[in-house]
Amino acid sequence: MAEAKHVGAEKLTISERTRLGSAVRRKPRFLVIGAGQRGTAYASAVAREGLPAIIAAIADPIQSKRVSLGKKYIWQDGAPREDQEFDSWQHFLKYEKSRREAEAAGEKVYPGVDGIIVCTQDQTHKGILQAFGPLRLHVLCEKPIATTLQDCQDIYISLGGAKSPDKIFSTGHVLRYSPHNMLLRKLLLEDRAIGELISVEHTEPVGWFHFSHSYVRGNWRKESIAAPSLLCKSCHDIDFILWLLCYKTDLGEPAHMPRLVSSVGNLSLFTKRRKPKAAENATNCFSCPHEQSCDWSAKKMYIEKLYDKGDTDFPVCVVVPDIEEITAKSGTEGGRAVLTRILSSDYNASTPRATIESKQWYGRCVWESDNDVLDDQIVTLTWDDDSRSVSGEEFPDRGPKTAVFHMVAFTEAQCERRGKISGTHGEIQYDSKEIRVYTFDQFRQPEAAKIITLPKAGGGHGGGDGGLMNGFSKAVEAVINGELLVEQAQAKYVGCTLKEAFMSHAMVFAAEEARLGRKVVDWQDWWAELEQRLPAD
């Protein structure tokens, strides 16, 4: 009867459920689709931070990953029930449709889920979201939402477009949700610590090792099977800049969007013409005469620097997904042998091209890879002065300003973003550890600049993973318990509408159009033309 009460409670009006109060209050239940690094990050945030959510089920084709996540966050020491473990999202979809039919027929069934957390490869997102659409579930989709502008547009339309959606939607723009960045934004827009914003220089140092693993040898190495690296790696950096600079108040004026977008970039190093002569014709590090002298040796990276020192986490677990289980059963040397065998697997001139392109060769020579995504790129966004264009009255922070974003692979730091923001009264410098505020009145009063250091947050992206999951969970919780309408919960807890998420993705595609066309794109004209192709509100 308790489960039936939950089902009935969800059909009550907000006023009816408010009168019932805490008697029907419950935590939202989520299915995680994809048990890799991102799926695990969001599931672990629920457990680590005690979020108002239940990870109810996992769908993933790799058994070791599926079981690992399930044992930690779903069924713990027991055995999984039929509603908790699925070897594919299609498997869950079939199960859920049958479960709903049985429930409608009055049969006793396990409770369903309220939402899905999509953490699969980027190019699969569209198919998953469209397949799950009829179930009308709340959605958290890892970034990017999709890999092409058309696919992003199709998803945007299918989820409700600019209209008020009937379900919560969030995407993996985790930079918005870290305590560090939330404080930075407060300093800029609420405290006005350096006056009106004039310019931003923001850098994502991808990291030499991370780039070679993911964008030269790994899943994101080719635009044809993934997307431009600016989208895959840095779409949330573009979103971060827009979040800081597209200022709007509660007075009803539209966001101050950029006018111009431009971009330049290169695939600078990882091409066959840059291959050292000493490497000769080798296509794999384990048969290469240059390996001992090479910065990019897979043997040194994965085995000597990581596995041999007891590190089987990312990226070793990407090369061998069940490396922990193998090591537990066969010992350290057994695990090392498997890792070595997989890394040293090679191809030759007789290997079909389709076979070569169908998998990731993590032991492959970085100069023999089929990668084509950029390893160095700059995007420039320029705003016009429209401080009086809205109503003829002066609005703050709508003057001319510029943002320069730099994504670069060849850095010691790995994804530890840094930047500098200039304002009319001072300057802020930031990195992943601290925020330094310098104001011009210190010339007259030369005390030290103010340095703010926050306690290290748990989880990835400086606490952004947990912050994103917290906002999504609270939004869904508020909706299913009748406390807020979807639009209200989206604004209060997610802080980003579906349209804003789509728009920041679109900005990346506009930047790529500018780069490929060697031109400057007028964003507002570009966006207006795109909106004309969308259904009317």
Give a yes or no: residue 81 inside a domain: yes
Tokens of 438: 């310098």
Mean pLDDT of the chain: 91
Q: Higher confidence at residue 160 or residue 34?
A: 34
> What local confidence, expressed as pLDDT, does residue 349 receive?
87
Q: Which of 289 and 64 is assigned the larger pLDDT?
A: 289
Residues 93 and 45 in one domain: yes
pLDDT at 510: 98
Shared domain for 266 and 414, answered yes or no, is yes
138 in a structural domain: yes
Q: Answer whether residue 450 is part of any domain.
A: yes
Q: What are the backbone dihedrals phi and psi of residue 115, each rounded to the nearest 5 degrees, phi first?
A: -160, 170
Q: Which residues contact 332 (CB under 8 A, 6 or more apart)?
A: none
The whole-angstrom separation of Cα 168 and Cα 173 is 15
Asked if the structure places residue 78 within a domain, the reply is yes
If DSSP codes are grouped into helix, strand and coil, which group holds residue 30?
Answer: strand
Q: Which pairs from 71-80 meet CB under 8 Å and 24+ separation?
A: 72/43, 72/44, 72/47, 73/43, 73/44, 73/46, 73/47
Q: Hey, which residues does 380 pair with through a beta bridge? A: 262, 404
DSSP string, 406-470: EEES--SSSS--EEEEEESSEEEEE-SSEEEEEEGGGGTS-PPPEEEEPPPPSSSGGGHHHHHHH
User: Rounded distance, CA 498 to CA 160, Å?
Assistant: 8
- My answer on whether 398 and 523 are in the same domain is yes
Cα–Cα distance between 66 and 77 in angstroms, integer? 14
- Expressed as residue numbers, the domain containing 478 is 2-174+465-495
pLDDT tens, residue by residue, 384-430: 998 765 555 666 678 899 999 999 999 999 999 999 999 999 999 99
Instruction: Give the side-chain half-sphere CA count within 13 A for 298.
Output: 32
Asked whether residue 55 is domain-assigned, the answer is yes
- The answer for residues whose C-beta is within 8 angstroms of residue 138's C-beta and 6 or more apart is 28, 114, 115, 116, 167, 168, 169, 472, 475, 476, 479
pLDDT band at 8, cuts 50/70/90? very low
- H or E segment and range at residue 199: strand 197-205
Inside any domain, residue 363: no
Residues 129 and 184 in one domain: no
**Does 389 reside within a domain?**
yes
pLDDT of residue 458: 78
Are 81 and 165 part of one and the same domain? yes
- Whether the full predicted model's pTM is greater than 0.85, yes or no, is yes
For residue 82, give both structure tokens: 């039929």
Residues 215 and 331 in one domain: no
CATH number of the domain at 56, please.
Answer: 3.40.50.720
Total tally of structural domains belonging to the chain: 3
The 10s digit of each residue's pLDDT in 261-301 is 999 999 999 999 999 999 999 999 999 999 999 999 999 99
205 and 243 both lie in a single domain: yes
Verify that 119 and 52 share a domain, yes or no: yes
Q: Are residues 350 and 294 in the same domain?
A: yes
Q: Are residues 65 and 202 in the same domain?
A: no
What is the structure's pLDDT at 391? 55
Based on the domain organization, do 38 and 91 belong to the same domain? yes
190 and 81 within one domain: no
* Residue 367, in any domain of the structure: no
